[in-house]
Chain A
Amino acid sequence: MIAIIGLLVGVAVGILWNPVVPLWLEPYLPIAIVAALDAVFGGFRALMEKRFDDRIFAVSFLSNVVIASVLVFLGDQLGVGAQMSTGVVVVLAMRIFANAAAIRRILFRA
Chain B
Amino acid sequence: MQFARRRSSSLTPELALWAERIEKVARGYGLDFYEIVFELLDAKDVNGIAAYGGFPVRYPSWRFGMEFERLEKGYEYGLSKIYELVINNDPVVAYLVKSNSLLEQKLVMAHVCGHADFFAHNCWFQATDRHMLDTMGQHSTTVRRLVDRHGLERVETFMDAALSLETLLDPYLPLRGHLAKTKPTSLGAPPTYDILGFLCERAPVEDWQREILRIVRAEAYYFQPQRMTKIMNEGWASFWHSRILTGGVLDASEIVDFADCHSGATARAPGRVNPYKLGIELFRYAEELGHDVFALRRRHNDASLIDELVDETFVEREMLFLYGKNARTARTEVTDRDWRKVKDRLLGELAWGGLPQIELVAVDAHGKGELSLLHHHDGRDLQLAHARETLLRLSAVWKGPVELVTREESEGRLLVCDGKEVEVSEIAAPSTEAPTEQSGEH
Q: Do A and B bind each other?
A: no
* Chain A residues in the interface with B (C-beta under 8 A): none
* Chain B residues in the interface with A (C-beta under 8 A): none
